[in-house]
Amino acid sequence: MYLSIGSDMAVRDTSIIGIFHMDNTTTSKRTREFLNQAEKEGQVIPCDDLPKSFILTAEYGFQKVYLTSLSSYTLEKRRRVAADDFAR
C-alpha cells in the first residue's frame, strides 16, 4: 500500500521508518545535522510549500527524506485509515 504525502506524491508504507513533525524535531542539533547531510547527499525530496513534517524512508538499500506540507498527525491518520481499510 502507499501513503499519499501531498503534492501528488506517495510513498510505499512498508518503506517508512518514521514520520516526524518538523518544528518538534528540528530543535535537536542531531536532527538538523542529519537533515543537512541528507540534503548534501541528494536524499531530500522537497515539497512545494512550507514543510510541516518529514518522512524518512528506506527501500532497496537507499534512504530518502520526503518533506511535506502535511502535518505528521494528518499523515499518521491517513496511514492508520489505510491499514484499517486493508485489514477489512
Give tens-digit pLDDT for 32-49: 999 999 999 999 999 999
- The owner of cell 501513503 is 3
**What ranges do the domains of the chain cover?**
2-87
88 against 72, higher pLDDT: 72
Is pTM beyond 0.85? Reply is yes
Give tens-digit pLDDT for 4-32: 999 899 999 999 999 999 999 989 999 99
One DSSP character per residue, 25-86 reads HTTSHHHHHHHHHHHHTT-EE--SS---EEEEEEETTEEEEEEESS-HHHHHHHHHHHHHHH
